[in-house]
Chain A
Amino acid sequence: MFDNIGQMVLLFWRTLGALPLAWRQRQKVFEQFFEIGNASLLMVCMLSFFIGGVLSLQTGPALVERGLPSAVGGIVGLAVARELAPVMMAILIAGRIGSAMAAEIGSMRVYQEIDALRTMNINPIHYLVLPRLVAIALALPMLVVLAILIGWFGGATVAEINHHMAIPFAVFFGDLRSMVELKDVANGVFKTFCFAIIIGTVSCHQGLATIGGPRGIGRSVTKAVVNSIILIVMFDYILTRLLLH
């Protein structure tokens, strides 16, 4: 993975340089944006509801036992907003969308469609990478905002219906409001934006670097997902350190 980091940075830099052309490619950006939303929305809702629920289930009874039922909402709220929603959704999108990007661009590379673009003087970075990167950078933070809200709702639901806790919605959200600040959500969304850039860059790079036939495409897809997840977890630590201070 690390031997490709320079190439990935270069690809990102070139895409950044092409950003003024994003408006010209808006049709493709919208297509990608809706594809990401369409492919991920239901999964995001289900995953985030259960993440919030399981967090509530894991922490709630212990806190209630120690006489801290009012802390459940705050802990679930903070954990979901700062960490779980951004990281879990990024991993989900790396698997669902990053793999699709690498496969699509990889097959275009293998079947000479990218060469055909170049012979028509169409820059593959402008035509393929830019719309995907812009779309994922817009879509993923939006999905994470939704995931945070649903995660909180899942946590509150489990806290209320679980007989070990039986914490009313009002108490749960009252505590959540007192502990979670807007900057916590903003930090989570900012981290997600960075993860989206990582997923888009890594996946497009792997697609463009595909060699060989269908086997090469398979290898690229695997690399795109694995490398994205590794970088997401590494950058999660780095960004968390920076944002906490």
Chain B
Amino acid sequence: MNSTDQKPYGVKLEVRGLRKSFASQEVLQGLDFTVQPGEIFVIMGPSGSGKSVLLKHLIGLEAPDAGEILVNGESIMTPEIAAKYRMALVFQSGALLNSLTVGENVGLYLTEHRLKPPAEIERIVREKLADVRLSEAIHKMPGELSGGMKKRAAIARALVIEPQLILYDEPTSELDPLSSVVIGQEIWNLNQNTRVTSLVVTHDRDLAFGVADRIAVMDGGQILTIGTPEAVKAFPDARVQTFLNADFKREPRFKNI
């Protein structure tokens, strides 16, 4: 069966009127958007535009001052409802636990919640590491990995949860162009294979236009535009064009790899 013919496994995410202030600065100024099941939705914007703060709200690490976040129509502001849905965040730094091996990091969710017997956990860990082409690193410590390998290990750790929504925070930051392409492929392949709803926060235009079904451009805590990559490129707003103005002619083709 063609993977794109599968029924979407991911969830629908809705953000309504989300506001957040730190001290006197309003970091999120009433955000509204919807991510459809199985979609890759990219949020772009310059540093300090509120992208990472938004991600922390989506995963429950921050509480908003106003507004709500709905998954499949249910507010996830209560821990009970949030626990119903499997959501994973791939951190900008990878955020692997430095005291554990890569294999232990990847299996941590299953081990701590005692969801499977140890032999089964090891099988799953090996499978997920193979999915991100990192099988050889299973016994290595995070400190022995390159930046790209850490991010792939973090993706493998997220996959163990079998997420219905996966959030990526700057997945290609601090990576060389080749590693960025590899990460882009991983995001694309994962979405195609599992139809997991994916939300990518990045300021990497190559990645965004390479993987996105739709793109939102943020600045100053507001969403300036939402649309298909083509629509966003053509959006006639000075701030959007200032952010996107360079090098549109060379479009990487992650989708075709």
Contact = CB atoms under 8 A, between A and B. Distances in A.
B95 A121 contact: no
B69 to A, nearest CB: 15
A200 to B, nearest CB: 18
B59 interface: yes
Interface in B28-72: 56, 59-61
B95 A113 contact: yes
Given A122-B108, A122-B112, A127-B112, A116 B97 contact: yes
B62 to A, nearest CB: 10
B112 A115 contact: no
A112 interface: yes
Contacts of B232: none
A121 B56 CA distance: 14
Contact of A119 (B83, B88, B96, B99): B88
A208 to B, nearest CB: 14
B95 A122 contact: no
B113 A121 contact: yes
Nearest to B154: A116
B109 interface: yes
Interface string A115-148: 1111111100001000000000000000000000
A34 interface: no
A119 B61 CA distance: 8
B3 interface: no
Contacts of B108: 120, 122
A120 B97 contact: no
Contact of B97 (A108, A118, A119): A108
Contacts of A119: 59-61, 87-89
Interface string B143-157: 000000000000001
Contacts, number: 49
A127 B109 CA distance: 12
A115 B154 CA distance: 13
Nearest to B59: A119
B95 A112 contact: yes
B83 A115 contact: no
B98 interface: yes
Contacts of A121: 83, 109, 113
Interface size class of B (residues with CB under 8 A): 20 to 34
B61 A115 contact: yes
Interface in A154-198: none
Contacts of A127: 112
Contacts of B179: none
Contacts of A117: 97
B93 interface: yes
Contact of A116 (B56, B83, B91): B91
Given A118-B61, A122-B108, A122-B109, A113 B97 contact: yes
A111 interface: yes
A220 B32 CA distance: 38
Contacts of A122: 108-109, 112-113
Interface string B72-95: 000000000001000111011101
B93 A112 contact: yes
A134 B96 CA distance: 25
B161 interface: yes
A121 B85 CA distance: 11
B91 A115 contact: yes
B95 A115 contact: yes
Interface string B96-110: 111100000000110
B59 A111 contact: no
Contacts of A116: 89, 91, 95-97, 157
Interface of A: 104, 107-108, 111-113, 115-122, 127
12 contacts: A107-B98, A111-B93, A113-B95, A116-B91, A118-B60, A118-B61, A119-B88, A120-B109, A120-B112, A120-B157, A122-B109, A127-B112
Top 6 A-B pairs ranked by shortest CB distance?
A116-B95, A112-B95, A120-B109, A119-B89, A122-B112, A112-B91
